[in-house]
Amino acid sequence: MVSEPSTEIMEATYHALCEHGYANLTMQRIADESSVTKAALHYHFDTKQELLNAFLGYLIDQFEARLACDASDPRERLTTFLDAIFSTASDRDTDFAIALMGIKAQAPYQSQYRERLEEVDETMQSVVKDAVADGIESGLFDDVEPDTVAHTVVTLVNGSRVREVTLGEEPNEARSLVEAYLELELGWSPEGEA
Amino acid sequence: MVSEPSTEIMEATYHALCEHGYANLTMQRIADESSVTKAALHYHFDTKQELLNAFLGYLIDQFEARLACDASDPRERLTTFLDAIFSTASDRDTDFAIALMGIKAQAPYQSQYRERLEEVDETMQSVVKDAVADGIESGLFDDVEPDTVAHTVVTLVNGSRVREVTLGEEPNEARSLVEAYLELELGWSPEGEA
């Protein structure tokens, strides 16, 4: 195991997942997307699971960078959150959402994946919860339970991903639902601010 | 293809899915759970996909039977809906939720699965939408958009299933979220009625 997997390997994993899905992903197919040999990949990662665990960590870092918001305004922080979650979907994004769903379906069998997914969930919930709590404190939002709002928002986000994969639903449809829900709870909607 | 697959084969499929998950499900393992031979299974179903498609149809019939509610009271209909969705989870139910997630992850590749999942989604949305519309008409619920409420509820339900599988979250947690959401939208909560 190398402490910092190269960006090239992570990008190759992304492309191989989009191309072949999780079930058909092999070390060889990841190698094919990079300048690294399969043997070199195995030098860094014993198994496909280990490589994917590193890849999930890489994704989380990217996601957290997109969530990073210096704004003190909680409305702006919620809008940045929704932008990061529901970034404009390309066909490639849908392929990737499909591959991620394959990984999620493995979470019960792979504790490493599960820990990564828990990490993402905690990050998402805390961003929403903190923004809502701050907005209530500064009188911008109605006085509601920040934990409930955060839990509802992330459950809608989880549902949106499944609907994208299983029903071909556009992520923007779920974004509208989340915005309508926030307006109902907080008395404020990100839509009006955009 | 037999027009009406025997209940025994469907039950055997259920048990084999709980035991082995979707990825490791084979015709042999389904046969092992029943008194039918693998050859006899293949007589009815050419492929595992075909058998699972019949199985999904069987599940939908069962689900619709649980949703069936003669009550004219829209509050009672919503409560029956939530009872059917969030029926008390046993370990077996969780195993089955995990297996179903494996099937959902295959929906982009198997149009038959996808059609079945669309069917379930339409059924769920129409039950909620009709109950909400009737409740508004009879003055029991606030005047909201029934389509939005139905879409939000099913997205929360979809999210709940993923959270059960990937994070081990209890389905009752999501039920509370749905109830709180309905109270917010409709001015009425199923919880208070139970």
> Distance between CA A177 and CA B152 in Å, rounded?
6
Choose among B107, B151, B165: nearest Cβ to A108: B165
Closest CA of chain B from A34, distance in Å: 26
CB contact under 8 A, B165 and A118: no
Closest CB from A104, A151, A168 relative to B166: A104
- Number of inter-chain CB pairs under 8 A, A vs B: 106
Long-range CB pairs of A139-148, under 8 A, 24+ apart, other chains included: A140/A74, A140/A75, A140/A186, A140/A188, A141/A74, A141/A185, A141/A186, A141/A187, A141/A188, A142/A185, A142/A186, A142/A187, A144/A185, A144/A186, A148/B177, A148/B180
Confidence bin at A189 (pLDDT 50/70/90): confident
Q: Distance (Å, rounded) from C-alpha B133 to C-alpha B123?
A: 15
Domain ranges in chain B are 1-68, 69-194
DSSP category for residue A87: P
ipTM of the complex: 0.91
Residue A139's contacts (CB-CB under 8 Å, 6 or more residues apart) are: none
**Which of A21, A108, A163 lies closest to B158 in CB terms?**
A163
B105 inside 8 A of chain A by CB? yes
pLDDT for A55-80, tens place per residue? 999 999 988 888 888 888 999 999 99
Please give the Cα distance from A142 to B135 (Å, whole number): 27
Chain segment B115-130, per-residue pLDDT in tens: 999 999 999 999 999 9
> How would you write A104-166 as a 3-class SS string?
HHCCCCCHHHHHHHHHHHHHHHHHHHHHHHHHHHCCCCCCCCHHHHHHHHHHHHHHHHHHHHH
Q: Is A21 on the interface with B (CB under 8 A)?
A: yes
Q: Say which CATH architecture domain B69-194 belongs to.
A: Orthogonal Bundle (1.10)
Class of the CATH domain delimited by B1-68: mainly alpha
Contact B22/B103 with Cβ under 8 angstroms?
Answer: yes
Q: Which fold has domain A72-194?
A: Tetracycline Repressor; domain 2 (1.10.357)
Residue A194 has pLDDT above 70, yes or no: no
